């Protein structure tokens, strides 16, 4: 069964829109775990427009499942992760002005940089994952960086699946199969939802973890967070 890690960025976005502390991101993380979530994901950005760096520290003592911190490994991000020592760090090459993550790493072009960063995290006992597009060459490049896992960027799959094109799963399945042979763990995330998660999981060999935020929080507005988390867990069995 793939683990469900709930990305709580959208909770922070809602909080920040009023300038107070409602909803409280730490309390939501505690509740999500109580409802069955097997991990909490945050993705702080340099402008702190949703998750703040202080949130990352505040969450550390309250996340008793798996704590996954995503982000572009700029010096401030690296220092924070090394201080907090989460279960996993997921490296994402997002530009500062990006609304959301929109591409995976070029693991060949940026190999030397990734090797150095990943080694530092692993030397400190932090599991590493890197965000990648579903491209076989990039999976092979990821292996050469020394990362523990990859996270497949699933926006293209989600878009095509919504249009009825289920064949869009093929490059993801091929990449997962290659990762399995290379002894790379497979995570996935971006635009996965209650509509597409079961089909994705059923076709991805060795899927270890999915990170879901925007869809899960949006679905929770209608169905309730506890109910939605349990629905995801059922589909991930």
Positions annotated as catalytic residues are 43, 70, 190
Instruction: Give the whole-angstrom CA distance, residue 214 versus residue 8.
Output: 8
Instruction: Give the whole-angstrom CA distance, residue 196 versus residue 157.
Output: 9
- CB burial class (10 A; 0-12, 13-18, 19+) of residue 43? buried
Instruction: Give the whole-angstrom CA distance, residue 34 versus residue 58.
Output: 18
Instruction: Give the whole-angstrom CA distance, residue 69 versus residue 44.
Output: 8
Q: Are 132 and 151 in contact (CB under 8 A)?
A: yes
- On the CB side of 216, CA atoms within 13 Å amount to 30
* Two tokens, residue 52: 């703040």
Q: Are 55 and 22 in contact (CB under 8 A)?
A: no
């Amino acid at each position: 069964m793939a683990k469900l890690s709930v990305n709580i960025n959208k909770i922070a976005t809602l909080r920040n829109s009023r300038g107070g502390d409602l909803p409280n991101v730490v309390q939501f993380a505690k509740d999500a775990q109580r409802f069955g979530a097997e991990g909490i994901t945050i993705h702080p950005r340099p402008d702190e427009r949703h998750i703040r760096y202080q949130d990352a520290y505040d969450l550390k003592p309250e996340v008793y499942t798996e704590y996954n911190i995503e982000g572009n490994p700029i010096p401030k991000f690296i220092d924070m992760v090394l201080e907090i020592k989460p279960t996993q760090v997921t490296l994402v090459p997002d530009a500062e002005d990006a609304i959301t993550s929109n591409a995976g790493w070029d693991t060949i072009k940026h190999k030397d940089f990734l090797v150095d960063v990943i080694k530092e995290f692993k030397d400190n006992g932090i599991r590493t994952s890197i965000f990648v597009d579903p491209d076989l060459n990039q999976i092979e490049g990821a292996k050469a960086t020394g990362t523990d896992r990859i996270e497949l960027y699933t926006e293209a799959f989600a878009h095509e699946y919504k249009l009825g094109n289920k064949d869009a799963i093929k490059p993801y399945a091929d990449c997962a199969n290659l990762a399995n042979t290379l002894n790379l763990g497979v995570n996935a995330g971006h635009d996965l939802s209650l509509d597409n998660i079961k089909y994705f999981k059923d076709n991805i060999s060795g899927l270890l973890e999915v990170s879901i935020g925007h869809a899960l929080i949006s679905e929770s507005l209608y169905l309730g967070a506890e109910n939605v988390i349990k629905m995801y867990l059922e589909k991930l069995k």
